[in-house]
Amino acid sequence: MTSSFSLFKVMGQTKVRRINWLIILELIATVVTTLWTAISGNFSSVSLFYAFCSWAIFPYLIGVILVAIVAEKAYTSDTYRLIPISNWKFYAMNLLSSLAAFIYLVLVQVVLYALTAAIGWSSLSDSYEQMQLMMSQYGMSFNFWAAAGTILGLSLVINILAWSTISLVHLVMNSASNFLPKARQRVVNIIVYVIVIFLTLRIVTFLFGWLSNLMYTAFGSSNIDSLWLGILVMVVAIVLESALNIVMINKWVETNPN
Amino acid sequence: MSTALSIQNLNYKRNRQVILHDGQLTLSTGKIVGLLGENGAGKTTLMRLITGNAQGQGVIKVGDSSDVMHRKQKTSFSDHLKGFDKSTKINQVVKFYQTVYPDFSNDRYQEMATFLQLDASQKLTALSKGTKEKLIIALTLARQTELYLLDEPFSGIDSMSRKQVISSILKWTPDNATLLISDHYVHEIASLLDEIVVVKDQTIAVHKGADEIRDQLGVEIEDYYESLYEVGGAADDK
């Protein structure tokens, strides 16, 4: 039998390769923006940092989608589904390798933030000191590491929930083809799309409200229990969705023919 | 001689359409078997059902195991490599196989790659159809399993490549393994075959030995196969 680690390795490599392309594109965009700043005559030591910050959101957004595409293809690809391993391990390694690829992206981004900030530190240090002074004046005790850790943990759970939800939708549609003629399958797909869009909007609204609570918690003092309760709810949702996904893979999900 | 593959009461529907019904088949070890049938007859589906990548009803056993995971372990199927990016190089594909299949023999693969003149640095997108088929054959036969499923390995390739592929099949299929090879042009593989299985009318319609066809019926495999499609021809004669 194939070991879980071997599967994790090959799935992770494919996803990391996509992430690497994304980082290369981000770096090219950063360099081009910095060069444009220089040509415009506004160049300073901090230009590279600002240029990097302006592009940094895109790898996260696109990265989550790219990783999801690779992960979903694995469920219907002979190349992956021929591998002799149990379906629950297959599912778990797919999800874990997606998570590992995202953590890799975050780490690379942190290194790039640090590098570009170090280059422009002479300018940034003043801003940082001013910000600390302002926060102390308003009585806000900012624990950077605690906030960063919480945001990272939160974003990882949100990502896992997003991926397991995408899998749920994909696998429901694939499974439906076992039971429905093609015409009705399209109707089912439309219904599933509508339900998913509705649920996504509800979840996004909930998350925005929750994130504002997080920022309040991170900067000041508040009841942090509600935050962890929210994380717990998401973890329960991930477990339930994953259980359904594994049942569908076991019973109905087929690969696309050659 | 032990049983390599047994199929009982196999039924398969997709989009509520019957693709295969009442499939029955038993193959012994050490045979090269031709899986024949028209385009869309269900040959590839039957192979996917054997691997567990399509989910039908009935009992499929490879060796003595009906469990899907064990079937996958005991079966090497000619995957068409669609799970890889087109920019993937051959050596990366080989590395993938080495990582996920404990029974993959790199030595066997390298021998076949040399014989078939495969360049490890080439990308999948740069491969001709013939070269891609050669790569698929080399990857499939480099695994050491009880059952090999080759899905239309000669589809769209030139005669020289076809000869090389046939030579590789004969040279590298282990003696005690069973090989099921599908095609809709029987003359391409007739010389290889010990037995034929024909998928027709949404079921496994025929399973006969090559010698039985030649000696008892007095016809070549190609002629026998063609007679199955003639009105009033040999039919449902298992």
Nearest to A236 by CA among A170, A167, A171, A164: A164
Strands B195-200 and B203-209, sheet pairing: antiparallel
**pLDDT tens digits for B143-154?**
999 999 999 888
In DSSP notation, B157-226 reads --HHHHHHHHHHHHHHS-TT-EEEEEES-GGGTGGG-SEEEEEETTEEEEEEEHHIIIIIS-S-HHHHHH
Assigned token pair, B131 = 């070269």
- pLDDT, average across residues A55-69: 93
How near does any CA of chain A get to the CA of B143, in Å? 12
Residue B123 dihedral angles phi and psi, to the nearest 5°: -85, 155
The yes-or-no verdict on residue A205 having pLDDT over 80 is no
- pLDDT, average across residues B208-212: 92
Task: State whether residue A237 is helix, strand or coil.
Answer: helix
The yes-or-no verdict on residue A211 having pLDDT over 80 is no
Computed over every residue of chain A, the mean pLDDT equals 85
Contacts of B109 (CB under 8 A, 6+ apart): B94, B97, B138, B139, B142
pLDDT band of residue B218 (cuts 50, 70, 90) is confident
**ipTM, interface predicted TM-score of the complex:** 0.91
Domains in chain B (CATH in brackets) are: 3-227 (3.40.50.300)
pLDDT band of residue B232 (cuts 50, 70, 90) is low
Q: In the prediction, which pLDDT does B103 show? A: 95
Q: Give A76's contacts in chain B (Cβ within 8 Å).
A: none
- pLDDT, average across residues B105-123: 94
Nearest CB to B83; choose among A1, A73, A84: A73
Q: What percent of chain A has pLDDT over 70?
A: 86
**pLDDT tens digits for B176-207?**
899 999 987 787 788 889 999 999 999 999 99
The yes-or-no verdict on residue A197 having pLDDT over 90 is no
- pLDDT, average across residues A43-53: 88
Region of poorest pLDDT, from A91-95, A218-222, B35-39: A218-222
User: CA dihedral in degrees (B113, A4, A106, B92; nearest 10)?
Assistant: 0
- pLDDT, average across residues B129-155: 92
When comparing pLDDT for A189 and A211, which is higher?
A189
pLDDT band of residue B236 (cuts 50, 70, 90) is very low
User: CA dihedral in degrees (A91, A92, A93, A96; nearest 10)?
Assistant: 130
Q: What percent of chain B has pLDDT over 70?
A: 97
A212 touches chain B (CB under 8 A): no
Domain ranges (residues) in chain A: 1-139, 143-258
Task: State whether residue B42 is helix, strand or coil.
Answer: coil
**pLDDT tens digits for B27-64?**
999 999 999 998 888 999 999 999 999 999 999 999 99
Nearest CB to B102; choose among A2, A79, A252: A2
**pLDDT tens digits for B81-98?**
999 999 999 999 999 999
**Contacts with B, A 75-94, CB within 8 Å:** 77-86
Q: Which helix (H) or strand (E) segment is B11 a member of?
A: strand B3-14
A126 touches chain B (CB under 8 A): no
Task: Identify the residue among A80, A83, A187 best suited for mutation to test binding to B, counting B beta carbons within 10 A and taking the highest.
Answer: A83
Distance CA A128, CA A121 (A): 9
Residue B66 per-residue DSSP state: -
